[in-house]
Structure 1
């Protein structure tokens, strides 16, 4: 087996010191263009790659960010993970991702493993960290940022869309379309996102003198959302509009209404979702939905994370980013928007 090429080999071939080789492969280090060219040419010729893990022991930084996400079934999260990975790479960081179920045991195990990998920070995406886990991260000096979820009283920074405003926007649109029996299949009510969207929606209806015709917790599950839709539509007086707590559930609701129950969308019932995932724009769905501004949410998450790494004493931030209602064909249009 051939001997592994070392930085000393590169230094000898390039005619420079070993420390110069180290500076060339250290992001942000001061080095002349001529020296960098010589070192990189020598490294290329020898097939040398720097040992990132060994360097992390010296610098105290792994330049790895841990990501804990509950599930990837919802296309919103698959897209967000891709954008997050690109954004972190642009800053010289890499992503180490773990998925967890709703089990506290699974979450404890994953956080333990992330700490073993000496990650520089942790992002929790739609995952509720217990108070004990928050304390453990704080004791370890591990910065934590919540993405698409807030945890009241946790003392953690959170980045979300403006969920209350989004729910309100959905209600106002359906009210403007003269719907009189408006229901809501919410996201999981154990989550801040599910509660806030539902609260914004109900508050806007109440302000217009109209109550919810029906409500069910879809728990961000396709199966739960489909069952809730069947129950609502088979009632003696079914709704004429349903706001669904995310697009992942909304597309499932549209499928069960059209194909299982023979209900016309939007002829018999209007559907509005939340997220604006790529499939929402497919002609077969053409879903009207509140857009989560994923790029701006990712940018804010990375910015906050880097700020916490550099300034551990930084105060937690609560950032809510507003997104527009994207009007398509799954809901009846208000009169002033018809042509």
Structure 2
């Protein structure tokens, strides 16, 4: 095995101190350009690579963030993961990925993560018990939930405004003239499912819309297919289904069209939640509530790194609104349709859309 070149050898060849070599390989460190050039030339000539493990022992920082995900089959999460990795790299950190069961407690994985001396933990589509959250806090390891809300006030969280999103879907479907409503639930215990359904039902109840047909898809395509068969073979047939995420909505559309011979949206309107990449595919054209991935990731990283760097210690809870993106899977209301760059959104109250500036009415 080849001998590892040390920073001392690089410093001696470049005619600088070892601390100068260290600063050259530390993101954001201040060093004169001519010194950096000499160090990098010496490092290249000697084949030097910095030892991250040794550096972490000196600085007590690994600059590694553990990310726990349980829903990689759902196309929303790879999109979120790519954004999270890019933003962390921009801030001088690296991502260490752990995968677990969807919507299960992250406790077993977090217990495995702690010996890795990570600087922080991001939990996506998972939850954490109060006991292990306290253990992380005692160890000085900040934890942030993303796309989940925390039952414990001292664990920071970033999520969509799920309650408002569910309300928006119900208002949209009522405005489109629908009369018989259904809901395909995700995982019962998840905060995303709970809040989306609660907002949806609240508006329908206020409108006197009658009972809502319901089945559980558990955020999986197979579960959603079974739920769709149960709801769409019942009579009277719902004329509108709200699915707790796009992953399930796509499976529901396949069952409705290809197994049961229903026309979407003429016989059945389908609305999802996430605005995952397949929602925009021409084969589906799914109407859905977007999750604003970039702002969610930016907020989660700001909170986490703020706590790591000691600037912000209290827990933060952020809920970010997303627009209802209108495509072809649901009948359209006669009002409230707005062009927003290259997409159509439903914004019934002028100036109240979460999509921001620069809109023109259709």
Q: Structure 2 length as normaliser, TM-score?
A: 0.90
Counterpart mapping for 1:107-118 below 5 A = 107-118=106-117
Structure with larger RCO (C-alpha < 8 A, sep 6+): 1
Query: CA separation in 2, counterparts of 1:240 and 1:295?
Result: 34
Verify the 8 A CA contact 2:107 2:128 in the aligned structure 1.
no
Equivalent residue, structure 2, for 1:133: 132
Cα distance, 1:215 vs structure 2:
1.6
Matched, 1:331 2:330: yes
Matched, 1:227 2:206: no
Query: CA separation in 1, counterparts of 2:179 and 2:250?
Result: 23
Counterpart mapping for 1:229-248 below 5 A = 229-248=228-247
Which string of whole-angstrom CA distances, capped at 9 and with x for unpartnered residues, describes residues 165-190 of structure 1? 11111111100000000111122220
Worse overlay, 76-85 or 306-315: 306-315
Cα distance, 1:322 vs structure 2:
0.2
- SS of residue paired to 2:210: coil
| Gaps in structure 1 of 5+ consecutive residues | none
Equivalent residue, structure 2, for 1:63: 63
Equivalent residue, structure 2, for 1:162: 161
Query: CA separation in 1, counterparts of 2:201 and 2:285?
Result: 25
Verify the 8 A CA contact 1:229 1:253 in the aligned structure 2.
yes
Query: CA separation in 1, counterparts of 2:238 and 2:193?
Result: 20
Equivalent residue, structure 2, for 1:3: 3
- SS of residue paired to 1:336: coil
Verify the 8 A CA contact 2:103 2:125 in the aligned structure 1.
no
- SS of residue paired to 2:335: helix
Worse overlay, 204-213 or 165-174: 204-213
Matched, 1:20 2:20: yes
Which string of whole-angstrom CA distances, capped at 9 and with x for unpartnered residues, describes residues 17-53 of structure 1? 2221112212233311110111011112222111011
Counterpart mapping for 1:133-282 below 5 A = 133-282=132-281
Q: Structure 1 length as normaliser, TM-score?
A: 0.95
Equivalent residue, structure 2, for 1:315: 314
Cα distance, 1:123 vs structure 2:
0.6
Alignment length (residue pairs): 338
Root mean square deviation of aligned Cα: 1.7
Query: CA separation in 1, counterparts of 2:11 and 2:133?
Result: 45
> When you count helix as a share of all residues, which structure comes out higher?
1
Cα distance, 1:128 vs structure 2:
1.1
Which string of whole-angstrom CA distances, capped at 9 and with x for unpartnered residues, describes residues 111-149 of structure 1? 122111100001111111112211221221110000000
Query: CA separation in 1, counterparts of 2:160 and 2:182?
Result: 22
Query: CA separation in 2, counterparts of 1:336 and 1:126?
Result: 35
Query: CA separation in 1, counterparts of 2:143 and 2:277?
Result: 29
Query: CA separation in 1, counterparts of 2:51 and 2:125?
Result: 33
Query: CA separation in 2, counterparts of 1:161 and 1:103?
Result: 16
Verify the 8 A CA contact 2:288 2:325 in the aligned structure 1.
yes
| Gaps in structure 2 of 5+ consecutive residues | 338-361
